[in-house]
Amino acid sequence: MDLSFRFAAESDVPNLVALVESAYRGEASRAGWTTEADFLDGQRTDAEEVAGLLEDADSRVLVAADPDRPDDLVACCHVENRGDYAYFGMFAVRPGLQGGGVGKAVIAEAERVAVTAFGVREMRMTVISVRDELIAWYARRGYTRTGKTTPFPYGDERFGLPKRDDLEFELLIKPLR
């Protein structure tokens, strides 16, 4: 699928929230392989969080669309300048398009943005450690597991409603050229 990339605008916020929620939560997310519905309920993000990312000078929210329908978002991610490295997050691909190369194209563009916009040479992300298939996907793209973990924020509904008590985030790192 051909994609056009651009940075998100304030007018994209509702569509970004809907895209992220559809990729990770609820029954709609089960059409793809990145669902978290088996271990998290509740929200993945909200309009306030996404709008805040757009206002942050150290952040870029990248959106991908079909070039013939530029307002029809098919994927997104957030890239944040953290000085020595960029942080990658809020990565979502429309469930019906997962597995078709869209995600690979988006992460490659995010890495390019990290280098060109922020001048960094490393990308970092955190992934829920029970997401073995997703971590393996990132590993195939050059990300390395560090074994460093941080606790899942149980009790903070902004991150979802856990269905299990063993969730934590693992740090993955990739050097950028």
Tell the residue number behind the tokens 């000085």, with chain if given: 83
Whether 71 has a pLDDT exceeding 90, the answer reads no
Identify the helix (H) or strand (E) that includes residue 4: strand 4-7
pLDDT at 26: 85
- CA angle at residue 148 from 143 to 153, to 5 degrees? 105
| Structure tokens given for 11 | 């007018």
Q: Share the mean pLDDT of the chain.
A: 95
Dihedrals φ, ψ of 80, to 5°? -125, 130
pLDDT at 27: 87
User: What proportion of the chain, given as a percentage, has pLDDT over 90?
Assistant: 90
Burial 84-93 (b: 16+ CB within 10 A, else e): ebbbbbbbbb
Whether 3 has a pLDDT exceeding 90, the answer reads yes
Band of pLDDT at residue 128, cut at 50, 70 and 90: very high
pLDDT at 177: 82
Q: Letter for the amino acid at 153?
A: P
Domain count, the chain: 1
Report pTM: 0.94
Phi-psi region of 83 (alpha: psi -120 to 50; beta: other; left: phi over 0): left
pLDDT at 70: 84
Q: Residue 14: which CATH number?
A: 3.40.630.30
The helix/strand/coil state of 170 is strand
Whether 40 has a pLDDT exceeding 90, the answer reads yes
Give dist(CA 37, CA 118) in Å, integer. 34
Domain that holds residue 140: 4-175
